[in-house]
C-alpha cells in the first residue's frame, strides 16, 4: 500500500477546506464524528453524532433524515433540527468529501490508487495545484 505523503495530504486538506467551508463545523461533517461508515446502514459516510435513545452513535445523511429528531435526546431537540437542516444543505458529493478529508488528515489510510475516485467526486476539475 502506498499512502499519500504528508505534503500531498496537507494540500488536500487546504483544497477541501477552501471548497467546503462546512468541513470546519464542530457538530456536523467529517470532523464532528469518528471516521467511518454510518452505524445504521454501513454504506454512507458518518456526518453527525447522535445522543438519543437509538443504538446508533453516528449517522450519515440519509439515515439522519430517516430517523429524524428521535436520533437525539429531548435536550438536543432544537440542535437536532438545526443539524438536520445543515445536513440537508450539504452538496451531493458530501460523502466523498468526508472520506477524502479523513484520508487527508491521516485518520484513514488507503492506497493512493483508491484516492482518485474520491478526488474525482470531491474536487472535480482538478487536483490541488502544487505551489
Closest approach of Zn ion to the CB of residue 131, in Å: 37
Number of neighbouring beta carbons within 10 Å of residue 23: 20
Number of neighbouring beta carbons within 10 Å of residue 81: 13
Give the residue, chosen from 13, 23, 32, 38, that forms a contact with Zn ion under the rule CB under 5 A: 38
Which residue, 57 or 108, is less far from Zn ion as judged by CB?
A: 57
Options 6-14, 65-73, 91-99, 106-114: segment touching Zn ion (CB under 5 A): 65-73
Which residue, 11 or 44, is less far from Zn ion as judged by CB?
A: 44
Site string for Zn ion, 76-95 (x = CB under 5 A): x-------------------
Query: Binding of Zn ion at residue 104 (CB under 5 A)?
Result: no
**Cβ-contact 4, 115 below 8 angstroms:** yes
Closest approach of Zn ion to the CB of residue 80, in Å: 8
Query: Binding of Zn ion at residue 67 (CB under 5 A)?
Result: no
Which parts of this chain interact with Zn ion (CB under 5 A)? 38, 40-41, 44, 51, 60, 63, 73, 76
Amino acid at each position: 500500500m502506498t499512502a499519500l505523503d504528508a505534503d500531498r495530504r496537507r494540500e488536500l486538506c487546504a483544497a477541501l477546506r477552501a471548497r467546503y467551508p462546512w468541513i470546519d463545523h464542530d457538530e456536523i461533517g467529517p470532523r464532528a464524528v469518528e471516521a467511518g461508515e454510518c452505524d445504521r446502514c454501513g454504506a454512507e459516510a458518518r456526518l453527525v453524532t447522535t445522543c438519543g435513545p437509538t443504538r446508533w452513535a453516528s449517522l450519515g445523511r440519509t439515515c439522519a433524515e430517516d430517523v429524524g429528531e428521535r436520533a437525539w435526546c429531548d435536550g438536543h431537540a432544537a440542535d437536532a433540527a438545526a443539524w438536520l437542516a445543515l445536513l440537508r444543505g450539504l452538496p451531493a458529493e458530501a460523502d466523498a468529501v468526508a472520506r477524502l478529508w479523513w484520508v487527508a488528515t491521516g485518520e484513514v489510510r488507503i492506497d493512493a490508487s483508491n484516492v482518485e475516485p474520491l478526488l474525482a467526486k470531491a474536487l472535480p476539475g482538478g487536483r490541488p495545484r502544487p505551489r
